[in-house]
Amino acid sequence: MRKNYLLTRRGLLCLCLGTLASIGTLAKSTAFNNQVRDFTAVGEASLKERAAAKGLIYGSVGKYRTLSSDAEFSSRFPQECAMLVASNELKWRGIRPSPDRFDFTKGDWLAEFASRHNMLFRGHTLVWHNGLPEWFQEKVNSQNAERMLVDHIKKVAGHYAGKIHSWDVVNEAVYPTHGRAEGLRDSPWLEFLGLDYIELAFRAAREADPKALLVYNENHLWYEGQLRANTPTGEAKRTAVLKLLERLKSKGTPIDVLGIQGHLRGHQLDQLHPKKLRAFLTDVANLDLKIMVTELDVRDHKLPKDIDVRDRLVAKAYEDFLSVVLDEPAVMAVFTWGLSDRDTWLSRVARRKDGLPVRPLPLDAQLNRKLAWNAMARAFDNAPMR
């Protein structure tokens, strides 16, 4: 009897300890922690004001189509943003309808909108394997590629010279699993021009617009593992990007900034390794380069349905990422890939299976501030001064 009783007491003790241990594990887990995180932002100041108070620039991509047709959105946009980033309007497909014709209409409208509202204007992008016009494949070849590329940069960057704060000169050129020299991505530019196309592009951009900051922009640098089979790990990408930047700098290439695309994934935040990302930023800064977070948004298509839970996880992603990145003084700017859930590319490319609208941006579809906005505001408020 007595023995049994003792065993029961021991059993009870084990049960209690077990329960305490699992509460401990839960407390460490993302979801639980997040329920108690306080996303309070002090005061009503806008994101651009909070960023500016720390010597940072905040802005967003804005589409011609939305800004020119949605009066409510276009008046809200400059209240939060100090920079307007062109969306598709300055990409090859957006600006070069035929080999010999450039159409600056939409880009000019954006430049004028930015200037009218005292915003800086940012160009995206002069060289990319994507966003090419339909005629490209038929008309561009290894004989004329150099002329086509240099001509394009001179015309486009030349047209906006004096109006552009910074240009994404080359976008997403690194992809180590393609097995090419220097870890570069398979792209028509690499195929036609070889390794030096990147340097060629930066030199042409500097000549066309000596004042704009020239940016090399890359994706998936924040992410640790692979996105899918055959995609490079974040580690492999960071290593190859550093090598590329070192090579460009050692050759005296006019490059000023590394752009880190911030397309985060709310359901895969365990892929963010603060120490590794932080160390990478130091390595980049040591090359005497500035850094911009260029395309920040948070995919929520695989997060729970409940809006409160979802918004908290999205906000957590913003705050966790930005608190690592803004710790590096070389980071000079943060740009989201959209301001409001009303207008985001993710409602097309990362839809929810339950059909609910996605909520990846700082403002909701009614242009109200969400927890993601609070998270950004807090990250700016807590950032060290530049």
| Binding positions for ligand XIL, rule: CB under 6 A | 87-88, 171, 261, 295, 345
User: For this structure, is 295 an active site residue?
Assistant: yes
Which one, of 380, 384, 301, 373, lies nearest residue 338 by Cα? Answer: 373
Separation between Cα atoms, residue 246 and residue 258, nearest integer Å: 12
Which of 172, 218, 319, 328 is labelled catalytic? 172
Q: What is the DSSP letter of 143?
A: T
CB of 18 to ligand XIL, least distance (A): 46
Phi-psi region of 32 (alpha: psi -120 to 50; beta: other; left: phi over 0): alpha
Q: Quote the least distance from Cβ 261 to ligand XIL, whole Å.
A: 6
Nearest distance in Å: CB 195, ligand XIL: 21
Residue 281 to residues 222, 275, 287, 288, 330, Cα–Cα distance (Å): 10, 10, 10, 11, 8
- Cross-strand bridge partners of residue 98: 101
- The token pair at 282 is 């130091």
Of the pair 187, 261, the CB lying nearest ligand XIL is at 261
Distances (CA, A) of 85 to 61, 67, 122, 258, 339: 4, 12, 5, 16, 11
Residue type for position 210:
P
User: How large is the greatest C-alpha to C-alpha distance in the chain, in angstroms?
Assistant: 97
Give me the least distance between CB of 348 and ligand XIL, in Å please.
7
Q: 86 or 377: whose CB is closer to ligand XIL?
A: 86
| 260 versus 383: smaller Cβ distance to ligand XIL | 260
Radius of gyration of the chain (CA): 23
- 69 by Cβ neighbours in 10 Å (0-12 / 13-18 / 19+) ranks as exposed
Catalytic position from the list 80, 89, 218, 295: 295
Cα distance between residue 14 and residue 1, in whole Å: 20
Indicate the residue type of 69.
S
CB of 217 to ligand XIL, least distance (A): 6
Nearer to ligand XIL, 78 or 262 (CB): 262
Q: Nearest to ligand XIL by Cβ — which residue? A: 345
**Does the annotation count 138 as an active-site position?**
no
Return the HEC string of 48-80.
Answer: HHHHHHCCCEEEEEECHHHHCCCHHHHHHHHHH
User: Looking at beta carbons only, is 88 or 374 nearer to ligand XIL?
Assistant: 88
State in angstroms the smallest separation of the CB of 98 from ligand XIL. 20
Name the residue nearer to ligand XIL (CB basis): 213 or 383: 213
Residues with active-site annotation: 172, 295
